[in-house]
Amino acid sequence: MSSMRELSQQQAAVREFIASQLALGRPSPSHREIASHFGFASSYAAGCHVRTLLRKGALVAEPGKARSLRLAEMLKTPRRSAVVDIPLFGSIPAGFGQDREQEAEGCVSVDIHTIGFQPTRHTFALRVVGDSMIGRHICEGDIVILEHGPEPRHGQIVAALMDRKSTLKTFVLKNNKPFLKAENPKYADLIPAEELMIQGVFRALIRKARE
Residues with catalytic annotation? 132, 169
Region from 29-37, 79-87, 121-129, 146-154 binding DNA, contact rule CB under 7 A: 29-37
Residues in the chain: 211
- The yes or no reply on residue 30 touching DNA (CB under 7 A) is yes
| CA distance readout (Å), 146 to 3, 57, 73, 189, 203 | 46, 43, 34, 23, 5
Binding to a copy of itself (CB under 8 A) within 182-211 occurs at 201-209, 211
Question: Which string of x and - marks every residue 117-146 that binds a copy of itself (by CB under 8 A)?
Answer: x----------------x--xxx---x---
Q: Which is nearer to DNA, 66 or 190 (CB)?
A: 66
- How remote is the C-alpha of 162 from its chain's centroid? 28
Distance CA 70, CA 203 (A): 36
- The yes or no reply on residue 107 touching a copy of itself (CB under 8 A) is yes
Q: Which is nearer to a copy of itself, 42 or 68 (CB)?
A: 68
- Give the DSSP H or E segment for 150: none
Q: How far apart are the first and last CA of the chain?
A: 43
**Binding residues vs DNA (CB under 7 A):** 8-11, 30-33, 35, 38-45, 47-52, 61, 63-69
